[in-house]
Each structure stands twice: as C-alpha cells, then as structure tokens.
Amino acid sequence: MIPRYSPRDVAELFSDVHRFDTMLEVEILCAEGLSAHGQIPASDVAALRARRPVVDAQFVADVDERELTTNHDTAAFVDVVQSRIGMPEAAWIHYGMTSSDIVDTALCYTLTQAMDIVITEATALRDALTRRAFESIDWPITGRTHGMHAEPTTYGAKFALFALQVNRDIVRATNARAAIAVGKLSGAVGTYSNIDPAVEDFVCAALGLSAVPATQVIARDRHAEVLYACAALGSSMEQFALEVRHLARSEVGEAQEPFAPGQKGSSAMPHKRNPILSERLCGLSRVLRGYLLSGLEDVALWHERDISHSSVERVVLPDALQLTVYMLRKATGLATGLVLFRERAVENLNQGSLGLVFSQSVLLALVESGLSREDAYRIVQAAARNASENRRNFRDVVTEDPAVTLDEAALERAFNVERMVAHRYRFLDALTWRS
C-alpha cells in the first residue's frame, strides 16, 4: 500500500521485521512443544530461547541476501536463524516442519492482530454515527427515493441506519477474526507425519490460535472471509459517504464535510468546498472489493497445495487491512465533524419540494373521507402535476381544488411533519449497544 493510505500501526504488522519475528516465535514455540513431549532435550530448547536473535532491519537484509542463493524465502529465513543461534542447538529449528507450518500460522496470527484493530476502529465509527443519530433524531429532512423528493424523515434516522449497518459489519468482522485465528503444524500434506498433534495444540495455544485440520496449507476460504469483512465495511462507508456527497451538492446544501482553517477546496475556484473525503471513501471502497475477488480466486488450490495464492496474498492482505483501517478512521472523522444545515433542510422540505412530500398523506385523507383509492389517487396526482408545472405550493393547489372535500383539520393533519416522523425514536431503540 502506498504511504498515503498506510496507517503506521497496521503497516508495521505486515512489515518484514514483524513477519520474520512472528515466524521465529513459531519456530521456537514448536521446539518448546517438542521438548514438552520429550522429543528434544530441554537444555537445547532453553538455549534456543536464550539465543533467540533480534529481528531487525539487518536480519531482514541477511534473509534477502541469502534468498539470492536459495531462491526460497523460508529456507533463507531458516538458514539465517540457524546461523545466528549456532549449532548444535540450531539444528532443532524447523525440525519436522514444512514452510507453510510457520508461514501460515504466522500470517494468521498477524491477521488476527490486524482484525483486532479493524474491529476497534469499526466500533469507533459505529459509535460516532450513533452519537449523531441521538443528536439529530428530531431534525426533519426530506427523504428521497430514486433521487427524488419522497416523504419527510430525520437526520437522526439516517445516522441510525448507517450505525446499524456498521454494527452488522462488526459482527462480520468478529466472525472473520475467529475464522482466521487458527494455525497448523501438521507438516507436508497435513498428516502429522513428523510432528505430534499435541505440539500443534501447544504452539497454537501459546499464540491464542486454534489448531485446525489442514492440507499443507490452511484453507483459503478463511482468508477470503477476512477480505469480505473488509469489503463489506468499505461498502458501508461508501454508502454513508455517497449520502454526504448528495446532501452536499450546491442545489441541496443540507450537509457539508468539515472544512479546516487554511484548507482549499479548489486550486482555481476559491468558493469551492468539495466533498473530497467522501469521494475518496467511495473510490477506495472499489479497491477493497477488488481485493475480495482476488481472495476468492485463491480458495481453489491444487490437491494438498500449490502456491498460486502466495503472490496474491502478499499484495492483497496487507493492502486490504491497511486500507480498511485508514478508511475507518477517515469515516469516523467525517461522521464526527459533518456539518448539518437544519434550516436549509426544512426549507427544502417545505418550499423546495413545494409540499409534494405530503401527497400520500392527502391521498390517505381522501380515502378516509370516503373516496375510492383510484379516484383519490387521480385527484392528488393531478394536483401534484399542477403544483409542479406551475411552481405552486401543493397545499394551496389542494385547498383550491373543488374535488378535495377535506376540512381544515384534515388538511392540517395531512401536512404535519411531526405526525409523519412520530415514530422516529424506534430507530434509536434499535441501537442496543448504546448504554
């Protein structure tokens, strides 16, 4: 991932230093597990732990240099570890294991750490949306379907629905975290030909993972599930950002992204306050969905394994996790700082819509008065067309229409915003995580 979209804490998880350090821990834990089951002298294992090399930039450089000879990165890693620890104890490094034992287990451990950050940041976004829902539940705004004025809703209802969607994403991410929190040390083709399953249990328990049956590699549907959780979060953030973009349009003017002192919206037009953050979130969500496709393509491997997935994962897994966290943090800032223009929203609801948002209310009032639904519909449809074409207030047109026999009380009820959003607190009741 390019530095622009790389949160440091997540980028460090996928650095070569962290990767090799985690692989080294798996190696030493395996030796300790073998020793616990009487297969390796305890003194040798103690020496491995005592002489555990520091994994730093020089260590990574040494592995890279060794790989020029081995043309195998894990073999190069093992060679460097053994040379740093020294013989004869270093002979127990990688004893009975295949490359995927340490690579897959280390990767899954790293992915669980990354998913912990994702879940934390997704929770922050959900909570920010929740706060805005409670703050603005009483603020009316025009609801739109097909991009057209429909009926009144409130800002708070919008925020609540976004919060509920992110909460579902948190459930998905939590499930994906559980699915990827696994490890295997079952050797070539996964038959435990050289390592007892108890050793696998020992290592996984030490890392907070669950040992699972596997071929030579851990099943890649687990990794695809992680990518789906990221893509789902991206799509939810896109939906929120897209709403902001629409509400921020000049002719709507019901919301605006936070605009910092000194910020410039355009290099050419000083008046511009473009929704650039929302547009960025929409764009990056497309990238996350692309990573999911790559992850799904990685699920089907030949027989007990091949490495067609490996090159893909080196790109898409680190990038997806970094990008998801970056987007979550930006989306939380957007939700927190979004400026809402309540007066403009009311103006659009009343004058801007010409009152046409109350057409169904008039329809139902006419039905209640004794008209058939078809007759009532045609009366209201004609009145609405008259109001729209002549740019007149819909209530005035309805009041003047001799076919409309509603009294003032019925009209007042039909054109009452409060009545139409009276059940708005039901949205808040659904936000069950709020204490």
Is 136 domain-assigned? yes
Q: Both 158 and 222 in a single domain?
A: yes
- Beta carbons within 8 Å of 252's beta carbon, 6+ residues apart: 246, 348
Whether 262 shows a pLDDT value over 90: the answer reads: no
> Using one digit for the tens of pLDDT, what is the confidence trace for 78-113?
999 999 999 999 999 999 999 999 999 999 999 999
- Of the residues 37, 83, 193, 266, only one is catalytic, namely 266
Whether 405 shows a pLDDT value over 80: the answer reads: yes
Q: Answer whether the bond into residue 41 is a cis peptide, omega within 30°.
A: no
Look at residues 47, 71, 95 and tell me which one is the last residue of a structural domain: 95
Is residue 204 helix, strand or coil? helix
- The pLDDT of residue 272: 79
Q: Both 202 and 323 in a single domain?
A: yes
Q: Both 302 and 394 in a single domain?
A: no
pLDDT band at 435 (very low <50, low <70, confident <90, very high): low
Question: Catalytic residue at 388?
Answer: no
Q: Both 317 and 294 in a single domain?
A: yes
Residue 255 pairs with which residues in a beta bridge?
Answer: 340
Question: Catalytic residue at 266?
Answer: yes
- Of the residues 146, 267, 271, 435, only one is catalytic, namely 146
> Using one digit for the tens of pLDDT, what is the confidence trace for 294-307?
999 999 999 999 99
> Using one digit for the tens of pLDDT, what is the confidence trace for 104-152?
999 999 999 999 999 999 999 999 999 999 999 999 999 999 999 999 9
Q: Of the ranges 37-51, 176-190, 265-279, 340-354, which one carries the lowest mean pLDDT score?
A: 265-279
- The pLDDT of residue 268: 76
Q: Both 135 and 283 in a single domain?
A: yes
Q: How many structural domains does the chain have?
A: 3
- Beta carbons within 8 Å of 212's beta carbon, 6+ residues apart: 182, 183, 184, 218
Range of the domain at 40: 1-95
- Beta carbons within 8 Å of 63's beta carbon, 6+ residues apart: 16, 20, 73, 76, 77, 80
Whether 418 shows a pLDDT value over 70: the answer reads: yes
- The pLDDT of residue 22: 98
Q: Both 8 and 43 in a single domain?
A: yes
CATH number reported for the structural domain that contains residue 309 in this entry: 1.20.200.10
